[in-house]
Structure 1
Amino acid sequence: MNLPFHSAGPGWPDSDVDDIYEVQDPYHRCHDTDYERSGWLEQNVHSEEDQIHSSEEEDNSSTSSKEHMNEVDRQLEEEIKRKKVVHIAQEIMSSEKVFVDVLKLLHIDFREAVAQATHHNGKTIVDERILNQILYYLPQLYELNKDLLKELEERVAHWTDHQRLSDIFVKKGPYLKMYSTYIRQFDINVALLDEQCRKNPGFAAVVREFEMSPRCANLALKHYLLKPVQRIPQYQLLLTDYLKNLSADSEDHKDTQAALFIVKEVANHANDIMKQGDNFQKLMQIQYSLNGQHEIVQPGRIYLKEGTLMKLSRKIMQPRMFFLFNDALMYTTPVQSGQYRLNCILSLAGMKVSKPSQEAYQNELNIESVERSFILSANSASERDEWLEAIATAIDDYTKKKITFISSRSQEEAEEAVDNGALLGSKAPIWIPDLRATMCMICTCEFTLTWRRHHCRACGKVVCQACSTNKYYLEYLKNQPARVCDQCFSKLQENKDRCASTSISPLKAGAFSFTRKQKKIPAALKEVSANTENSSMSGYLNRSKGNKKQWKRLWFVVKDKVLYTYAASEDVAALESQPLLGFFLREEKNGPARKLQFKLYHKNTLFYIFKADDIPTAQRWIETFQEAMILEE
């Protein structure tokens, strides 16, 4: 151990340990002898031992001091928590006192104000039954909370004797469920209050006068009616804070946990009811927005989604406002700002929703229901997908709730029967739009101003009058006779023969026969229809037969390396077909539309110029054409 020099002298052995570490002058003159040196070393050893013992004492003293400080801190923290518990108990009691006064204002003071107005006017201001409905369940809540307040005041006044209050909530727990009944009727009662104020000027005057009185503190009556709705969450917050500050060995700890569990259950139930209340308000809002008298509010009906979609009619797209519920899909026509005319409410029972098979109609979705079926179009593919998912989920949930076990037939078998056409005529078909078919979908004769289109009421196809001379009783039309095509007529007759129990007979349209001279169409052009499945690509393109020729919008299908051309997307026969092997493409290099256009050549001879609606579509068509031009080995 290296220590600084220290001058020898009296008192050294008795010097304090700390003195050893005092820095001395290293150049101080000293005459050492062997004895002195030996004595100094001995003294130094004893001093080191004293230092070690002293350090141990200091460590022990420090540990003891820390333990003492921790104990003090713990006691201080416990004291703070005890004071908080008392403060929260007082807050529970004082807030209950304020709340009971609110209940008294509604149940007693407001009733007295109405009674005084009735006495003063000499006639009934408002029917007693209506007033009781507006103040529904407030008498019961007033008695419950008045009793609760009395017990809370007793406990807080004698806190040192009991130091507990949660057992009161445990005892009153079953009665707290009365709040759920009040909350369930809250929206209805407030709506009734508003309605009476609109219809009954005398009652409205009483309400206004009462709200302006000092007793009401210039607050609306609805402000006070909302207080019972807010009280249960307040109990939950106060009891949670109360439990957090209670010691684990407190007498009230176990009861507080039980009370908090009860209050949370009531609060969760109240939240569910409030959500239902929001749903009720939304349904009422929709009902008020419809022209005429319509019952949109139905038991168990839940609002899910709304939005504007284009509904495809026979000739044009028309904007319609759609409302999706958990049991129905409703569509309306906008008539003025925020007002609608009801078109139809379609049950989700038996409804199907799907995407069209053609890529060209990526914004569309098909709705098939028992009453009506149609095509809808959204603003974008993503919006279409949102509606598709929402409707499909609603149908699935509705079916799961309504499905019942049928021993003789499973749900899958029933669905398969529908898909196989066994129930033809039981559902409204989706009508093919007029502009998507230029020829009869049975005989392929072209439509003109005199040779008009007709729709089969069983399958929705566009047919000519010669191919739809029959009528048949259709189930979805409540067994009323309707025009059907020849193909459906044959199928319906077959179904009738299989179901011997039916007594309904088919109808003939009349003895007149309709004939039209048809243009002979090669069989090769009938092999592939415009809406064929498993094609490489299909859709509309603008086509020109030369640089100076006029553009014509046509429907094209590439299938099995053959390009088929159609006048419309639902035509059953092609205008022409062209194998693409041996052809090649050249993309347009100049001009503003160069990325939209591409040219089809054969042996350096220009056959056609194509133009797509957008660049991504043009690129997909180019890739499809190029794949079809290569002979696979």
Structure 2
Amino acid sequence: MCDDKVSELRKEVESTYMRQIKGVPAPALHTLCTYCLCSAQSLHTLTHTHDMEKTFDQQNTERIKAVDESFRPSMKSLFKEGRVLVGEGRLLKQCRRKTQPKVFFLFNDVIVYGSILLHGRWYKDQKIIPLESIKLEDMEDTARLKNQWLIRTPRKSFVVAAASKEDKHSWMQNIELCKSILVKQGHCPSEEFAVSWMPDKASQICLICKAKFKTFKRRHHCRKCGILVCHQCSKDKTLLGHISTTEKQKVCRNCYKKTVEVDGNWENSTKENRADSSDEENQEGDDSLLYLTPSTWVDLSMGTWSGGEHYMSMHPAIN
């Protein structure tokens, strides 16, 4: 505390309350003035902080409402007590047949993405992934796709790419930050993750029987190892606990041999273990909307739009 300010306050107190403070020792009066100045400064700081958090709460609510309405009317509401919108942007997602621009929203407890109908106004195919179930893996640039990394989850893993190295770093850093806060708050991270599927263009033949893919000999993906196989080599289903404990998943012939207990002749599997080829992903829209721009973020060092680790720690997401 500045001694000049304390001295000024002491003189003012002595001149105004001369009779009341008569006999008070000088050191005690000096301490009292110092305490008063500190209290006033603390009160100002607390009031300012409260106003900033109130403003942030209002901005956060408005931003989540805007995201919520952009997925309306058929998608799940994103409003939840303690939820903070940390950042948003467009990323390229590696889909089965090609890369597709997707809109991504990072909250302090989940990551949400969807297909773009009209950027900034309408999105569809909303997907919500809890952050504690995510594992990130960095990937090297390729001639076809730069600034990419792998997002792994128990049900599905996929590659995404950002507009720049800086944007990629921001996404990975903020996802890891939010996840670490959730884990500190007692959320249990996943230990098993789905494999990343091979893109359709990665092979022109079935990787088991070597048959060539044609119009009537479609590509299929093994849910256990992710390779491309034909229908004949992916007729079987088995339970994969990290994906579902009740619904059997399509697997290739090789994985079925390794994971399913058999009675000596695995090819005579019952019909309930045979996969229907109709459960493949539909082809996603074209990539004519490929115009990546930098993502926008909460400023992690402040308390405005801006909120950051301190705000998220003080406002944990509630289950």
- Shorter-normalised TM range: 0.5 to 0.7
Describe the SS at the equivalent of 1:331.
strand
Distance 1:279 1:84 in 2: 47
What residue is the counterpart of 1:266 in the other structure? 46
Q: Does 1:345 align with 2:128?
A: yes
- Alpha-carbon distance change, 433 to 300 in structure 1, aligned in 2, over 3 angstroms: same
Match for 2:110 among 328, 331, 334? 328
- Alpha-carbon distance change, 480 to 277 in structure 1, aligned in 2, over 3 angstroms: same
Give, in angstroms, the shift of residue 374 of structure 1. Answer: 1.9
Match for 2:248 among 473, 481, 486? 481
- Alpha-carbon distance change, 261 to 485 in structure 1, aligned in 2, over 3 angstroms: same
Give, in angstroms, the shift of residue 313 of structure 1. Answer: 1.7
Distance 2:114 2:120 in 1: 11
* Contact persistence 2:89–2:103 (CA under 8 A): yes
What residue is the counterpart of 2:68 in the other structure? 287
Give, in angstroms, the shift of residue 321 of structure 1. Answer: 0.7
Distance 2:196 2:20 in 1: 74
TM-score by length of 1: 0.35
Distance 1:332 1:278 in 2: 23
1:399-457 deviation digits (Å, cap 9, x = unpaired) = 333356xxxxxx8xx84xx4xxxxxxxx5442221012222233333322333211112
Q: How does 1:156-305 map to 2 (within 5 A)?
A: 159-160=16-17, 249-250=29-30, 252-257=32-37, 259-260=39-40, 262-263=42-43, 266-267=46-47, 270=50, 271-292=52-73, 294-305=76-87
Aligned partner letter, 1:319: P
Give, in angstroms, the shift of residue 308 of structure 1. Answer: 0.5
Give, in angstroms, the shift of residue 272 of structure 1. Answer: 4.4
Distance 1:162 1:435 in 2: 92
* Contact persistence 1:493–1:506 (CA under 8 A): no
Larger helix percent: 1
Give, in angstroms, the shift of residue 307 of structure 1. Answer: 0.5
Give, in angstroms, the shift of residue 81 of structure 1. Answer: 4.4
Q: How does 1:414-433 map to 2 (within 5 A)?
A: 415=191, 418=192, 427-433=193-199
Distance 2:231 2:11 in 1: 89
* Contact persistence 2:10–2:29 (CA under 8 A): no
What residue is the counterpart of 1:443 in the other structure? 209
Distance 1:348 1:490 in 2: 33
Distance 1:370 1:161 in 2: 75
- Alpha-carbon distance change, 257 to 286 in structure 1, aligned in 2, over 3 angstroms: same
What residue is the counterpart of 2:90 in the other structure? 308
- Alpha-carbon distance change, 350 to 472 in structure 1, aligned in 2, over 3 angstroms: same
* Contact persistence 2:194–2:224 (CA under 8 A): yes
What residue is the counterpart of 2:218 in the other structure? 452
Distance 1:506 1:326 in 2: 44
Distance 2:77 2:107 in 1: 14
Aligned partner letter, 2:167: E
1:588-620 deviation digits (Å, cap 9, x = unpaired) = xxxxxxxxxxxxxxxxxxxxxxxxxxxxxxxxx
Describe the SS at the equivalent of 1:480.
coil
Distance 2:169 2:83 in 1: 24
Q: Which runs of 5+ in 2 are unaligned?
A: 22-26, 264-269, 276-319
How many positions carry a matched residue from both structures?
Answer: 254
TM-score by length of 2: 0.65
* Contact persistence 2:9–2:33 (CA under 8 A): no
- Alpha-carbon distance change, 436 to 397 in structure 1, aligned in 2, over 3 angstroms: farther
Describe the SS at the equivalent of 1:402.
coil
Q: Which runs of 5+ in 1 are unaligned?
A: 1-76, 87-157, 165-246, 405-410, 419-426, 498-504, 511-633
* Contact persistence 1:471–1:506 (CA under 8 A): no
Distance 2:245 2:29 in 1: 74
Distance 2:82 2:71 in 1: 20
Distance 2:210 2:141 in 1: 21
- Structure number with greater Rg is 1
Q: Does 1:395 align with 2:175?
A: no
Distance 1:249 1:453 in 2: 86
Distance 1:82 1:375 in 2: 64
Give, in angstroms, the shift of residue 309 of structure 1. Answer: 0.8
Q: How does 1:439-518 map to 2 (within 5 A)?
A: 439-475=205-241, 476-477=243-244, 479-493=246-260, 507-509=272-274
Distance 2:103 2:12 in 1: 57
Give, in angstroms, the shift of residue 340 of structure 1. Answer: 2.7
Distance 1:394 1:160 in 2: 54
Q: Please tell me the root mean square deviation across aligned C-alpha atoms, in Å.
A: 3.8
Q: How does 1:82-93 map to 2 (within 5 A)?
A: none
Aligned partner letter, 1:324: L
- Alpha-carbon distance change, 267 to 506 in structure 1, aligned in 2, over 3 angstroms: farther
Give, in angstroms, the shift of residue 368 of structure 1. Answer: 1.4
Distance 1:327 1:484 in 2: 31
Distance 2:175 2:103 in 1: 15
Aligned partner letter, 1:509: R
* Contact persistence 1:472–1:506 (CA under 8 A): no
- Alpha-carbon distance change, 325 to 506 in structure 1, aligned in 2, over 3 angstroms: farther
* Contact persistence 2:95–2:199 (CA under 8 A): yes
Distance 2:240 2:137 in 1: 24
Give, in angstroms, the shift of residue 303 of structure 1. Answer: 1.8
- Alpha-carbon distance change, 358 to 448 in structure 1, aligned in 2, over 3 angstroms: farther
